[in-house]
Structure formats: structure tokens, C-alpha cells
Structure 1
Amino acid sequence: MSADLAIAPQALRDWALGVLVARGLPPEEAALVVDALVDTSLRGVDTHGIALLPNYVDLLEKGVTNPRPQVAITPHGALLKVDADRGLGQVVVTSILDQAVVMAGTFGSVTATIGQVGHLGALGYFARRATDAGMIALLLQNGPALMGLPGSTARAIGNNPIAFGIPAPGRPPVIFDVATSEAAYGKLIGASARNEPIPDGWAMDQQGRPTNDASAAMSGILLPSGGAKGIGLAMLVEALAGSLSGTRPAASGNIFGAFLMVVDPSAGHGGFADDLAQWLDHYAASGPDARYPGQRAQAVFDQRSRDGIPVAAGLHEKLVATGKTVGIPFTA
């Protein structure tokens, strides 16, 4: 097996920016996509980092996503109704999130329902952006049906992801970002590519039988995290990100609905930061492995910023091929 290549983050940024501009994105908007993908890779979420770029380029080439969308925003008080016109998720949602952060300073909290938007990538990226501005954020995205309860013989609902971010002055923010299935679909893809079995409880085959075969799971049914609890959370996401935005992804899963909420902690009782610090300290004192969401990612970010982003041989081949399609060679 070939060893991963360690590539300098700036080299990836520069190359990816050129690729997206060549596919029609304005440079300032291409930079938003690149920042999200590279930041996600730096934090160790490799399935949602630079690995997504070849697919994004393909969707732009096919006209599925729109490099220059006419985004329509209709305000209803502190709720923004957004038609993204098939714009890339990182471009549209970053803009809407930044508007919501400003508005939350006036309203205390702001929500947005976003329809007809391209894939958002890692929702935790947006949650972290909000915490950088001192805000609490919740983000949801629906997806094509992939998941069902044990005994199902058909996919019932998407493994719709949920993320939230909480600013924690003096320490890394709390960033929680998960799919509502026991394992993300990307983990099945990775296991299948490596010809490795998957753990019990991840998925069923098309007949609703438990399986450890990653390939059978990919064409089968994902199992929810926590059983009915995961299904319930997926339904909440479907209502807020899907039904509220009027967007139900097709089986191809390339255009989505999303929902975000931004809350200004200063609109609360006034002791938010002190109270948060107390319960985080209490949590940390509960045991040597009591790490809260966001701490591991920050440690990986620091290490990869110094040593480079690992790129597996298979991904390297895809990046090289993507570079050839747009005339921007990938030479790293």
C-alpha cells in the first residue's frame, strides 16, 4: 500500500482556487469553497475536505450546481427564507451565516431556511465560523434516503447531519458535527475501497439483513445512531432543512435543503461565559479521557498545519485527473 503524501496546506489552497476559477466561480467565491475544504482536511475530517473537490468540479461541469447563482433572500422578521439557485453550499451558506451573525446582534437569534443549495461539506466549518464571531450556531442539512430501522427493506430517510458550535472563551470552541446514522456513508466508501469489513450495527443489505460487507451496505440501508433516536433526529432535520425550505434531494443527492440558527449569548442572562466555563471544567475533571467535541480537531489542525495534509494515493490520482480536466496541473 502506498504511503500518504503530506502536502502543504497553502499548495492545496492555491491549486484548488485555480481549479474552481477555471470552472467559472468568481475568485472571491472560489476562495470560500477552498477555505472550507482545506480547513476541514486540516481538522482530520478527510471525507469532507479536499476529497470533495473532484465531485464539486464534476457537478459544475455538468451544470448541476451553479457557479454564479442568483440567490434570493426574503426576510420574515428574524427568519430568512433563501433560494440558493443551486449555488455551492460553502458560498451561499457562508454569506447567509455572516448576515445572520450581524442580525443576531439586534434580534438575539436569527434563523434561515435555505433551499436548492449545493452540498455544504462539513457543517462544523460553519459552526466554527459562528463561534469565531462569539455566536452559538446550529446547522442542519437533509439528504437522499439512505437510512432505515432494523427490519426495513427500503431506505426511509436521509442520514441527515447535525452540527452545533458554542464559543468557549480561552479554549477551543465546542464543535459537534455528526450524521444521524451510526456511521457516515463516506466510511462505507473507504472500507469498500480497502476491502475491509464494517463493524456490526452500521448497515443492512438490500433485504434488510445485518451485514459486515461494505459494498453490500453501500447499496443497502444505513442504520441510525441510537436506533429510533437517530431516526427522530433525522426527521427533525428533514422538517426544518427540507420541508421548511421546500427541498427534497433526489436519489443523486446533489442539491439539498439546509437550516441554520445563530444565537447571541449576550442576549441571555449575562453569565453565559462563566457558566459555560464551570460545566466544561466539571466535565474535564470527570476522567483523563473527558475530551469535548472540538478539542481533537484542534489538535489535528495544529499538527497538520505544521506537517502537511496527508493525501492517500487514490485521492492523489483523482486530484491529478481533476487538474487535467481544467488545465491546472496538480504537481504536489
Structure 2
Amino acid sequence: MPDDTAPRTMSASEAEALIARVLEANRTTRDNANSVARALVAAEVDGQKGHGFARVAAYALQARSGKVDGAARPQVSQPRSALLSVDAGHGFAFPAIDLAIAELTQLAPQTGIAAAAIRRSHHCGHLGGHVEKLAEQGLAALMVANTPKAMAPWGGGRALFGTNPIAFAAPRGDAPPLVIDLSLSKVARGKVMAAAKQGQPIPEGWALDAQGRSTTDAAAALKGTMIPAGDAKGAALALIVELLAATLTGARHSDEATSFFDAEGDPPGVGQMIIAFDTTAISGADFATRIEALLAGVEDQPGARLPGSRRLSARAEVAASGLTVPAHLLSEIEALAPPGGGA
């Protein structure tokens, strides 16, 4: 008999098919399910487990309850020559981001710099994967996103900001793009959620409980607040992201958004901002030479490594050995769709 407690290994394409099938069985259209599945598996492949399999059940249940509109079709308008306005329609973020990236890839080379403001959106996962797609098209890109409240302003005790991630990518000629992706809390809240699902503790210094005490209990941390990266500086950066991703786009502020983790209440309605730069238009051929000189200065120092470089080794490992899905997550995911079932 197969061991139901053992993890299962599968290819990335098999994982995408499984996730898409589960979402289709829970009121999500095929195109949207495929977009979400690609993004979640890409995050898992890159080692960003808090944005991968751990999210599938919550996504499916939110689509089933209507907290996320699994059939939403994102709409884009162009209010200014270099500005795109994207309405995600309270659907999953990934189809809206796919649309924004496709449009920015065409627009930025015409205008030199272009932005996409996304509103009425949802959890956007691993930001580095999104900006990397633009860098693969020869564009530098910056992306910010707000998330439901999880972090207090520095010196305060009540959650007001989300973990509000920020990512940047730049093209590198023959080398894979430089990708920098970070949460403005000490760690992404998804890592705490993943630990809570496994019943594992978290390291000291990641979070505070609801009474403002440092905790290693992941479940208590989810009821409390995250500690900002860089203390006061991280909290200030979270405010900047809040202004760019929510105030400016017309999305809900973090303290107005409902949770990404459950199927209760209204849609989160958060926002994202993506800015793409045509490096050739701005600096000509100099950019390609200058970025390599700068990055060589990093790599030449013993012990130093480029941000985001671990994703490349993680991808190679998955290509060789497949993805390992923990048994508890696989059981949780498969329970949400019958074998071979559809919408």
C-alpha cells in the first residue's frame, strides 16, 4: 500500500495540472486557473514555498465562496501615454499581472518608461517572478504590492501596513536577469503561514503575538504582527509601498483589506504597481556594460553573492529531481477536487 504520509515527487507540469484542476473544480475558469497554477508552481520551483503549494487550498476555498471571482477578466485602459490602469475585477492577481506585463512589454520601448497600476486585486505571490519576465524582454522593472495588515508602524502596537513586498529585475545580456525580491517584514508572512500548517515553530525575531510579545509559535504570530526588516527603516519603506500600491492605484489600504488566508468576508481589493524601464532608451548601450562591471564587483568579493542567485540552483535541482510536495499539503489540495474532475 502507498504511504499516505510520504511526500510525493512530481514534475512542474504535473504540479501545474493538479493545481489548475483543483481551481477549475472551485469556480475558476480554465484560463485563470492556468495563470494561477503557473505562478504558484514557479514560486515553488524557486524555493518560495510560502507562495506555492501552501496557497492552493486557500485560493480554491476563496474562489468557491466568492471572495475571489474565479471568472474575472482583467480590464486595461491607458489614461496617459505611458500609464496603464488595470482593474483585476476582484479576481486572482496573476491574470491581471500577466496582462500588465504583456502591455508593458509593448509600451515601455515606445515611451522609455511605463507603469501599470493594478487595483481590486488579490495576493500576487512571488514578485520576483513577475519582474523577471520583463527583464527577459530587455526591460528593467520595479514592482510593489500591498497586502492585508500584518505590521505596525515603528513604535506602534497595532497592525496598519502589510508586509508590502518590493521586487526589482534588470537584464544582463547573456546571463540570467538580476532579480531582487524582498518582503518589508523580516520574512514574508507566507513563511509563517507555511510553518503554522506544518505545526512547526518559527525563529525568534520574526514576529510578535497579539500581546506584542516576541513569539516562536507560528499560529500566535499569525494573530499578532510581523517585525519590519530594518526596524524603523523597514516600516518607513512599507509606508512608501502602501502609498504607491494602494493610495495611488485606488486599491484598498492594508488595514481595509481582508485576509489572503481564509474564505471569509469581502474580496481583499489590494493593489500593485509595476514600472518598466527601457534601459536602451535611457542610457543607450552603456547599461549592459555598466551593470556587468557593478555586479562583478559583488561577485569578486569572497563570500558575497548576487541577490536572487539561489533561484537558479533551485530551478536546476527541480529540473533534475522534480518537486517534492509534502503529504499534508497534497492531501489538503486533492481533497478540494475529485480525481480527474473539472469545473
TM-score (norm 1): 0.91
Partner of 1:148: 152
Partner of 2:263: none
Partner of 1:274: 289
TM superposition shift of 1:195: 4.3
Q: Within 5 A, what are the aligned runs for 1:93-172?
A: 93-149=97-153, 152-172=156-176
Match of 2:81 among 66, 69, 77: 77
SS where residue 19 of structure 1 aligns?
Answer: helix
Match of 1:60 among 58, 63, 80: 63
SS where residue 283 of structure 2 aligns?
Answer: coil
Letter in 2 for 1:47: G
TM superposition shift of 1:194: 4.4
CA deviation string 1:226-265 (max 9, x = no partner): 0111111111110011001222242324331111101111
TM superposition shift of 1:90: 0.7
141-150 vs 109-118, which moves further? 141-150
Letter in 2 for 1:252: S
Structure 2 contact 74–96 (Cα < 8 Å) conserved: no
User: What is the alpha-carbon root mean square deviation over aligned residues?
Assistant: 2.3
Partner of 1:315: 329
Match of 2:45 among 25, 42, 45: 42
SS where residue 298 of structure 1 aligns?
Answer: helix
2: CA distance, partners of 1:215 / 1:19: 26
Partner of 1:218: 222
Structure 1 contact 154–206 (Cα < 8 Å) conserved: no
Partner of 2:270: 256
CA deviation string 1:240-298 (max 9, x = no partner): 110012222423243311111011111122211111111111110011x3221222101
SS where residue 273 of structure 2 aligns?
Answer: strand
Structure 1 contact 172–294 (Cα < 8 Å) conserved: no
1:302 pairs with 2:316? yes
SS where residue 306 of structure 2 aligns?
Answer: coil
2: CA distance, partners of 1:28 / 1:196: 35
Match of 1:6 among 9, 18, 26: 9
Structure 1 residues 328 and 305 mapped into 2: Cα distance closer, same or farther (>3 Å)? farther
For structure 2, the residue ranges without an aligned partner over 5 or more in a row are 261-267
CA deviation string 1:81-134 (max 9, x = no partner): 222211211101111111011100100010111110122121111111111111
Aligned residues: 328
Match of 1:284 among 299, 312, 325: 299
2: CA distance, partners of 1:33 / 1:20: 9
Partner of 2:208: 204
Letter in 1 for 2:209: D
CA deviation string 1:167-193 (max 9, x = no partner): 112222111111100122122233334
TM superposition shift of 1:16: 2.5
2: CA distance, partners of 1:144 / 1:131: 28
Structure 2 contact 107–114 (Cα < 8 Å) conserved: yes
2: CA distance, partners of 1:59 / 1:231: 29
Structure 1 contact 284–290 (Cα < 8 Å) conserved: yes
Structure 1 contact 164–175 (Cα < 8 Å) conserved: yes
Structure 1 contact 116–255 (Cα < 8 Å) conserved: yes
Q: Within 5 A, what are the aligned runs for 1:11-30?
A: 11-30=14-33
Structure 1 contact 15–328 (Cα < 8 Å) conserved: no
TM superposition shift of 1:137: 0.9
Structure 1 residues 328 and 140 mapped into 2: Cα distance closer, same or farther (>3 Å)? same
1: CA distance, partners of 2:238 / 2:340: 38
Q: Within 5 A, what are the aligned runs for 1:182-193?
A: 182-193=186-197
Structure 2 contact 154–235 (Cα < 8 Å) conserved: no
For structure 1, the residue ranges without an aligned partner over 5 or more in a row are none
2: CA distance, partners of 1:119 / 1:197: 24
197-206 vs 272-281, which moves further? 197-206
SS where residue 40 of structure 1 aligns?
Answer: helix
Letter in 2 for 1:269: S
Structure 1 residues 233 and 301 mapped into 2: Cα distance closer, same or farther (>3 Å)? same
Structure 1 residues 257 and 77 mapped into 2: Cα distance closer, same or farther (>3 Å)? same
1:233 pairs with 2:237? yes
69-78 vs 291-300, which moves further? 69-78
SS where residue 212 of structure 2 aligns?
Answer: coil
TM superposition shift of 1:145: 1.3
Structure 1 contact 22–326 (Cα < 8 Å) conserved: no
